[in-house]
């Protein structure tokens, strides 16, 4: 368990380094896809999941959290959601105090549509529906799926895939 945690920290460091190196590749005049970047504090948001629980990023935050933005009409999101579900199920085997918090938040998709998709695909991970671009707009201007890894209130990795969050492969 300790060795796995050390490996994960090492991989996170590699992902962060790669993100910093690639962040200089955006051409002048292009809109930056992310509003926040690695090392930014997580924006404060509060959403209600479809099952009525509140998810909040109000400080103080401790531990790890994953925030995933998606839309079920997005083909890349439809490919990513089963991978996120598999990861979520694996975290349920951890002691409660060692589990990262995880929330999937729709972008421009209402609760009825998200709920129907979750039921049809037997997804059990926490989900909140946002019919508009808020709270997505606190994090990014464009691009889904978006996966944000937050450690102790600071964004430590950003990717379009949960697999990229936990590996240095792109």
**Residues 63, 163, 36: CA angle, nearest 5 degrees:** 60
pLDDT digits (tens, 9 = 90+) for 83-123: 999 999 999 999 998 999 999 999 999 999 999 999 999 99
Residue 116 to residues 72, 101, 111, 133, 168: CA-CA distances in angstroms? 10, 23, 8, 20, 34
pLDDT band at 24 (very low <50, low <70, confident <90, very high): very low
**Which CATH class name applies to 2-165?**
alpha beta
Specify the 3-state DSSP secondary structure of 24: helix
Where residue 167 falls among pLDDT bands split at 50, 70, 90?
Answer: confident
User: What is the residue-wise DSSP string for 43-95?
Assistant: PP-EEE-TTS-EEE-PSP--SEEEEEEE-TT-HHHHHHHHHHHHHHHHHTTS-
Output the CA–CA distances (angstroms, integers) from residue 14 to 21, 70, 136, 169, in the order listed.
11, 25, 26, 10
In Å, how far are 19, 42, 44, 65 from 59, measured between CA atoms?
Answer: 25, 9, 8, 13
21 pLDDT more than 80: no
Q: Across-strand partners of 71?
A: none
Q: What is the pTM of this model?
A: 0.79
Q: How far apart are the first and last CA of the chain?
A: 25
């Amino acid at each position: 368990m300790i060795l796995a945690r050390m490996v994960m920290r090492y991989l996170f460091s590699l992902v962060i380094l790669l993100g910093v190196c690639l962040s200089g590749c955006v051409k002048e005049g292009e809109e930056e896809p992310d509003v926040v970047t690695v090392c930014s504090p997580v924006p404060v948001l509060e959403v209600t999941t479809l099952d009525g629980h509140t998810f909040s990023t109000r400080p103080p935050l401790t531990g790890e959290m994953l925030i995933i933005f998606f839309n079920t009409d997005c083909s890349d999101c439809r490919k990513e959601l089963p991978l996120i579900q598999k990861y979520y199920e694996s975290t349920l085997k951890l002691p409660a105090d060692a589990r990262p918090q995880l929330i999937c938040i729709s972008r421009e998709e209402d609760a009825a549509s998200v709920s129907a998709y979750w039921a049809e695909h037997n997804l059990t991970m926490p989900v909140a529906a946002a019919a508009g671009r808020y709270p997505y707009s606190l994090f990014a201007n464009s691009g889904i799926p978006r996966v944000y890894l937050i450690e102790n209130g600071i964004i430590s990795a950003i990717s379009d895939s949960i697999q990229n969050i936990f590996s240095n492969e792109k």
